[in-house]
Chains A and B, each alone.
Chain A
Amino acid sequence: MRPNADRLILMYRNMVLIRKFEERSAGFYREGKIGGFLHLYIGEEAVGVGAIAALAPQDYIVTHYRDHGHAIARGLDPKALMAELLGRSTGVAGGKGGSMHLVDVSKGFWGGYGIVGGHIALATGLALASQYQDENRVTLCIFGDGSTNIGYFHESLNLASLWKLPVLYLCENNLYGMGTAVERASAVASMAEKACAYNIPAVRIDGMDTLKVFDATQRAIEHVRSGNGPYFIEAMCYRFPGHSMGDPERYRVKDEVDRYKQRDPIVAFGKQLEGDGVVDEADLERIEREVAQEMDAVASFADASPAPAPESMYDFIYAQSGTH
């Protein structure tokens, strides 16, 4: 089922919000206000927004370090997200996690994870908890093409298929793992084929097209929610900037990047909505303006937030035992 006009507009707005959030965070990074690694989601917005729009509120998300877009698509507060990137006390993890480890369990967003592939195992376990407790819940697990070569990927898919766990694996195939092209790292050209090895139904889709991602995810979710076990989606996409800030980008030519930029998923989705009469040009411009304003507020909130107190250093190493 196609989302109604309001939801389509919200999806478009989320894509613009992600883009502007990323541009702003890149700016903070250049100013030295964001430290560590910063992995941008620019160019891949259609995947996160299309897939996450198909989830129900009770569903879970577990993702990798390229997580800003997924967090925004799930409706996490951009102010608290940006504050986390800046390492402030108002951040989603109080400044303890940073860009790679965004979280908001109240929204079913169980974290971004920095160890490639590790979170695929955790997502599989979360799905086990849902199955065990008879919850009507699907866990969406998002990872890159590079993660499909790690042992965890294979151990997880095997177990999920064996135990029919309610997990949807979503591979964002952006053609590179850092600087290594997928064909230089994977003996199998299609990541979806790897899922077939574990008897998991899989599709390969155009990840630059928001509604195609939405449709495929909706179908996959239905399969998983009905108790048929896991499903696998490989979304073909492309990241416009480097792997992380400061990537010298020796592994791809500018032509290739430019070619993909011609297919900018936000522009494409905007045109599609215009063509379908959901919005007109003025609406798109207005959304652009509103989001830019929102980003100003997000950035000044984050930048004005205090650093975590030194006394918070030892907070949360252990949970105080009690009821879970």
Chain B
Amino acid sequence: MMEMTYRDAIREALREEMTRDERVMIMGEEVGVWGGSYAVTQGLMKEFGEKRVKDTPIAEGIIVGAGIGAAMGGLRPVCELMTINFGLLAADMLINHAAKLHYMFAGQIKVPLVVRSVGGGGRQLAATHSQSLEVLFAYVPGMKVVMPSTPYDAKGMLKAAIRDDNPVLFIEHSLLYPIKGDVPEGDYTVPLGVSDIKREGADVTIVAYSRMVHVALEAADRLATEGISAEVIDLRTLRPLDIQPLIESFKKTNHAIIVEEDWRTYGIGAEIACQVYEQAFDYLDAPIVRCAGLEVPMPYAKNLEALAIPGVGDVVRAAKELVG
């Protein structure tokens, strides 16, 4: 094991996969000479050359479109969309194309494409640069949507994504890049579509993904000092969704809180809650609680932004109300 940042873990995954497989290549805005807007791809152009690390024009439609075509033609491209907000310009490519081709052409066409992007808020980038749009893509059959929370998962899941024969949207969080965690040396993968229990507990199940896992874990620490034992489940993949560990946990704790950075209405939490109701209604001691982003375009001001994103205090308060 080695301690490594989330950013470095992702870069290692890219480097190892590019070394392992000639067909893996990177393209996107500022991925090469600049080294990536979030410095994830730093050094890779130097190491692998301009054929395998391609700077593109600012044209999200063709970045993903060319990625899909290249994947069809035998490459395993990793396209970077600077942030998921700009990913909307490629939404047609992801939703109408990448997610459809294998089914619509009855298995004749495969799209082994990874699109890496950055979602979420917390850096005072205001309304157009702070969104959590994962639900738009996780809504679509044919897509895989991955949002790892730790360096270990980020590296293992990115490697799994690159080896997957389906289009995978891999959404990182800019506030996670500097966090550190243990990462094994050498090759390993973490399967897509498998939720993970990040902390065991008995009284309440807290479900989260991406940065909110850390919010949930911190809340669980605080709750422990007050005698409440929280189990934290990291969804890791939003589609295909692995609901079973969560159902099992809920059967044990009979209480659930979902912590999500996206908007509450129609959000990921709504779906999770519904599936829990459908599968474990009899185990319900209290309504499921959602700690979600406030339903506003993200404000710029530091204090307003902090209020708009779920925090540790919100989760602790919710848990105490629920089981206290």
In the complex, what residues of A have CB within 8 A of residue B74's CB? 129, 133, 324
Please tell me if the beta carbons of B109 and A129 are within 8 angstroms of each other in the complex: no
Please tell me if the beta carbons of A324 and B76 are within 8 angstroms of each other in the complex: yes
In the complex, what residues of A have CB within 8 A of residue B64's CB? 121
Does any Cβ of A come within 8 Å of B135's Cβ?
Answer: no
Please tell me if the beta carbons of B105 and A93 are within 8 angstroms of each other in the complex: yes
Q: Which of B86-130 contact A (CB under 8 A)?
A: 92-93, 96-97, 101-112
Partner of A121, one of B65, B101, B141: B65
Given contacts A103-B105, A152-B61, A319-B165, contact A159 B92 (CB under 8 A): no
A104 to B101, CA, bound (A): 13
In the complex, what residues of A have CB within 8 A of residue B72's CB? 110, 122, 125-126, 129
Q: Which of B42-101 contact A (CB under 8 A)?
A: 51, 54, 56-57, 59, 61-62, 64-76, 92-93, 96-97, 101
Please tell me if the beta carbons of B109 and A111 are within 8 angstroms of each other in the complex: yes
Given contacts A101-B104, A126-B73, contact A155 B59 (CB under 8 A): yes
Please tell me if the beta carbons of A110 and B106 are within 8 angstroms of each other in the complex: no
Given contacts A103-B109, A159-B56, A320-B165, contact A121 B61 (CB under 8 A): yes
Given contacts A115-B92, A122-B72, A125-B69, contact A101 B166 (CB under 8 A): no
In the complex, what residues of A have CB within 8 A of residue B57's CB? 155, 158-159, 162
In the complex, what residues of A have CB within 8 A of residue B108's CB? 93, 103-105
Does any Cβ of A come within 8 Å of B142's Cβ?
Answer: yes
Please tell me if the beta carbons of B67 and A97 are within 8 angstroms of each other in the complex: no
Does any Cβ of B come within 8 Å of A127's Cβ?
Answer: yes
Please tell me if the beta carbons of B104 and A317 are within 8 angstroms of each other in the complex: no
Please tell me if the beta carbons of B65 and A111 are within 8 angstroms of each other in the complex: no
| Residue of B whose beta carbon sits closest to that of A94 | B106
Please tell me if the beta carbons of A125 and B68 are within 8 angstroms of each other in the complex: yes
A125 to B111, CA, bound (A): 12
A324 to B72, CA, bound (A): 9
Given contacts A101-B105, A316-B102, contact A155 B62 (CB under 8 A): yes
Does any Cβ of A come within 8 Å of B164's Cβ?
Answer: yes
In the complex, what residues of A have CB within 8 A of residue B104's CB? 93, 96-97, 101
Query: How far does the Cβ of B70 sit from chain A's closest Cβ, in whole Å?
Result: 4
Please tell me if the beta carbons of B62 and A121 are within 8 angstroms of each other in the complex: yes
Please tell me if the beta carbons of A321 and B71 are within 8 angstroms of each other in the complex: no
A309-321 interface bits toward B, Cβ cutoff 8 Å, 1 = contact, 0 = none: 0000001111111
Please tell me if the beta carbons of B97 and A125 are within 8 angstroms of each other in the complex: no
Please tell me if the beta carbons of B70 and A115 are within 8 angstroms of each other in the complex: no
Please tell me if the beta carbons of A321 and B163 are within 8 angstroms of each other in the complex: yes
Please tell me if the beta carbons of A128 and B73 are within 8 angstroms of each other in the complex: yes
Does any Cβ of A come within 8 Å of B25's Cβ?
Answer: yes
A90-101 interface bits toward B, Cβ cutoff 8 Å, 1 = contact, 0 = none: 001110110001
Please tell me if the beta carbons of B62 and A324 are within 8 angstroms of each other in the complex: no
In the complex, what residues of A have CB within 8 A of residue B71's CB? 125, 129
In the complex, what residues of B have CB within 8 A of residue A129's CB? 69-75
Partner of B25, one of A104, A132, A152, A319: A132
Does any Cβ of B come within 8 Å of A124's Cβ?
Answer: yes
Q: Count of A residues near B, CB < 8 Å?
A: 46
In the complex, what residues of B have CB within 8 A of residue A93's CB? 104-106, 108
Query: How far does the Cβ of A26 sit from chain B's closest Cβ, in whole Å?
Result: 23
Please tell me if the beta carbons of B69 and A324 are within 8 angstroms of each other in the complex: no
Please tell me if the beta carbons of B105 and A111 are within 8 angstroms of each other in the complex: yes
Does any Cβ of B come within 8 Å of A177's Cβ?
Answer: no
Q: Which of B148-193 contact A (CB under 8 A)?
A: 163-166
Q: Which of A248-279 contact B (CB under 8 A)?
A: none
In the complex, what residues of B have CB within 8 A of residue A163's CB? 54
In the complex, what residues of B have CB within 8 A of residue A201's CB? none
In the complex, what residues of B have CB within 8 A of residue A113's CB? 97
Does any Cβ of B come within 8 Å of A322's Cβ?
Answer: yes
A92 to B106, CA, bound (A): 8
Partner of B75, one of A121, A132, A156, A159: A132
Please tell me if the beta carbons of A318 and B166 are within 8 angstroms of each other in the complex: yes
Max chain B CB contacts within 10 Å: which of A111, A125, A126, A324? A125
A155 to B112, CA, bound (A): 22
Please tell me if the beta carbons of B66 and A124 are within 8 angstroms of each other in the complex: yes
A128 to B65, CA, bound (A): 11
Partner of A115, one of B69, B96, B111: B96
Q: Which of A75-124 contact B (CB under 8 A)?
A: 92-94, 96-97, 101, 103-105, 110-111, 113, 115, 118, 120-124
Query: How far does the Cβ of A96 sit from chain B's closest Cβ, in whole Å?
Result: 5
Please tell me if the beta carbons of A118 and B103 are within 8 angstroms of each other in the complex: no
Please list 15 pairs of residues, one from A and one from B, whose beta carbons are closer than 8 Å in the complex, sorted by A's number: A96-B106, A118-B92, A118-B93, A120-B65, A122-B69, A128-B75, A132-B51, A132-B75, A155-B62, A156-B65, A159-B59, A159-B66, A316-B106, A319-B112, A321-B165
User: Can you list the 10 inter-chain pairs with the closest CB atoms, starting with the nearest?
Assistant: A125-B69, A121-B65, A129-B73, A155-B62, A125-B66, A319-B165, A122-B69, A94-B106, A155-B59, A126-B69
User: Which residues of B line the A interface, CB within 8 A?
Assistant: 23, 25, 51, 54, 56-57, 59, 61-62, 64-76, 92-93, 96-97, 101-112, 141-142, 144, 163-166
**Contacts A96-B103, A121-B61, A129-B75 given; 5 further ones with Cβ under 8 A?**
A93-B108, A121-B66, A121-B69, A124-B65, A129-B71
